[in-house]
Structure 1
Amino acid sequence: MEMNRVLTFYKYQGTGNDFVMIDNRDNSFPKDDIKLVAWLCDRRFGIGADGLILLEEDATMDFNMVYYNADGKEGSMCGNGGRCLVAFAKFLGVISTEAKFNAVDGVHSATIKGDIVELQMGDVTDISEKPNAYFLNTGSPHHVQLVKGLQDFDVFKEGSKLRYGVYGQKGSNINFVEPLGEGTFAVRTYERGVEDETLSCGTGVTAVAIAMHKSGKVSSDVVNIEAQGGKLQVRFSVDAKGYSNVHLKGPATQVFKGEVKC
């Protein structure tokens, strides 16, 4: 890799799910350079992050979101990444308190107050019940499975086994869940693309909340989730067609700004 340019970046995190943010409104970032994206996300040789996100101009919306997994490949929707991008857009002066933006799975709306971002996710109508688990897509595919002793559970071993063994090379994110009390659940997630456990996953948290409601483990349309990196809240409307007006709410903060030779 030739280190012949200096790239300005920002680091953001949402409940421990961290991202390299780049203002690409001038379209200067080499979007097809998988090795560069993977290097920037590398925690030893690069900046270090669960993913990289570009904020770009959009013809009809406030901005466009382009998300890459830590392996350098463009990924499916990232809920915490979307929330962090809204915070980044406010920092840049692109929005004030409300946003509407395009992402790989369609249009999302959001509000921001202080460091709390509430992001509208896509509707969920198709939920598959598996032995001891549920499978659904909340912008990214998710397997949701109840376990006992979550804190000591081997998420990497069991997550990678399910990610490849059940869902093949394309894979799925794997969420292990344990009830904590009325309307509250703990979750640990193995993320495809990162190929490891992350401290939080926004689409995963959303999937867990909906799966727990679908299974009858919670009756409320507001579900509290405790990820390894912090607390998030999911609310939704439910009818015979499925789940709509799905919102993911929690903190999203800037960690630092930097420059890197690449």
Structure 2
Amino acid sequence: MKRTFPLQFYKYQGTGNDFIMLDNRQQFFPKQNTKLVAKLCDRKFGVGADGLILLENDNMSDFKMVYYNSDGNESTMCGNGGRCLVAFAKAIGIISNEATFNAIDGIHHAKIIDGIVGLSMNDVDNIIEKRNHFYLNTGSPHHVQMVEEVAKLDVQKDGAKLRYGLYGEKGSNINFVQQTAENAFRVRTYERGVEDETLSCGTGVTAVALAMHFSKRTTTNNIIIATEGGELKVSFDLVGDGYTNVELTGPADLVFKGEIEW
């Protein structure tokens, strides 16, 4: 049945990772309609985005984050999406400069100053090292692989091959990494659910920073990551064999807002 009223949306981006934001505190959005989510995220027939995020009421925190990939399916944690949601919450007056919100992987804390959002990520105590890559979960599963010339890669082709060939239908996000300085790396990411390269991936950047420290390619706990869409920073503390106080920091900006028939 066709809706008779327009859907108000906000479009945000964090280092090129873009999202449709909906204020769903009144629970109007049909959350099981995966075709609708995919249509809204379609760059030719909808708004266009890497994902769609619902902001909802939550009894434990300032708000709840419900995240969908552009294929329409609800997914695991999205770091850049979480940062953009904090900026959205501030814009509509739910928070001021600090926030606590509930996501699929638990409670996150954040602060926002002049459009720069610092987001707490989950602790990580299990990094699996293989012959030529690392595997870890930073709210979403990530494969981290060093390469010599990341700019020359066919990320869509090589990422899909690993995403399906190594991890099966459930899949993993695939990150290709090149070190550019003692505390700096360049990353390109293939995201499952988008099934293509995205300009940035927050949980991927976090995974890269931890894997690079774990492998002793860097000794600093403040790491700069260059993505195709801009620069992000990851800080953390090493406690025993695990990483805690993990924070992902970078810009989160409103692109435009509007209405679409749905």
What residue in structure 2 maps to residue 32 of structure 1? 32
Q: What SS is found at the alignment partner of 1:35?
A: helix
What residue in structure 2 maps to residue 237 of structure 1? 237
1:9 pairs with 2:1: no
Inter-partner Cα distance in structure 2 for 1:212 and 1:70: 29
Inter-partner Cα distance in structure 2 for 1:5 and 1:161: 42
Inter-partner Cα distance in structure 2 for 1:129 and 1:5: 52
CA change 1:52–1:231 in 2 (3 A) is same
Amino acid at match of 2:232: L
What residue in structure 2 maps to residue 76 of structure 1? 76
1:125 pairs with 2:120: no
- Mapping 1:242-261, distance limit 5 Å: 242-261=242-261
What TM-score do you get using the length of structure 2 for normalisation? 0.99
Deviations along 1:107-140, one digit per CA (max 9) or x if unpaired, are 0000000110000000001111112100000000
- Mapping 1:26-175, distance limit 5 Å: 26-175=26-175
Inter-partner Cα distance in structure 2 for 1:192 and 1:212: 22
Q: What SS is found at the alignment partner of 1:144?
A: strand
What residue in structure 2 maps to residue 225 of structure 1? 225
Deviations along 1:242-261, one digit per CA (max 9) or x if unpaired, are 00000000000001110000
1:3 Cα deviation from its structure 2 partner: 4.9
Identity of aligned residues (%): 63
Inter-partner Cα distance in structure 2 for 1:182 and 1:225: 12
1:27 Cα deviation from its structure 2 partner: 0.5
Inter-partner Cα distance in structure 2 for 1:131 and 1:24: 45
Inter-partner Cα distance in structure 2 for 1:73 and 1:36: 10
Q: What SS is found at the alignment partner of 1:89?
A: helix
1:5 Cα deviation from its structure 2 partner: 2.9
Deviations along 1:31-63, one digit per CA (max 9) or x if unpaired, are 110000000000011110000000000112000
The alignment of Structure 1 onto Structure 2 pairs a total of residues equal to 262
Q: What SS is found at the alignment partner of 1:219?
A: coil
Inter-partner Cα distance in structure 2 for 1:73 and 1:4: 25
1:239 Cα deviation from its structure 2 partner: 1.9
Amino acid at match of 2:182: E
Q: What SS is found at the alignment partner of 2:119?
A: strand
Inter-partner Cα distance in structure 1 for 2:84 and 2:109: 13
1:85 Cα deviation from its structure 2 partner: 0.1
Q: What SS is found at the alignment partner of 1:53?
A: strand
Moved more, 41-50 or 2-11: 2-11
What residue in structure 2 maps to residue 196 of structure 1? 196
Deviations along 1:171-221, one digit per CA (max 9) or x if unpaired, are 000000001112000000000000000000000000000000001100000
1:207 pairs with 2:207: yes
Inter-partner Cα distance in structure 1 for 2:136 and 2:10: 32
1:148 Cα deviation from its structure 2 partner: 1.1
Inter-partner Cα distance in structure 2 for 1:4 and 1:202: 36
Inter-partner Cα distance in structure 2 for 1:197 and 1:49: 13
Amino acid at match of 1:170: K
Inter-partner Cα distance in structure 1 for 2:107 and 2:241: 20
Question: What 5-or-longer segments of structure 2 have no aligned partner?
Answer: none
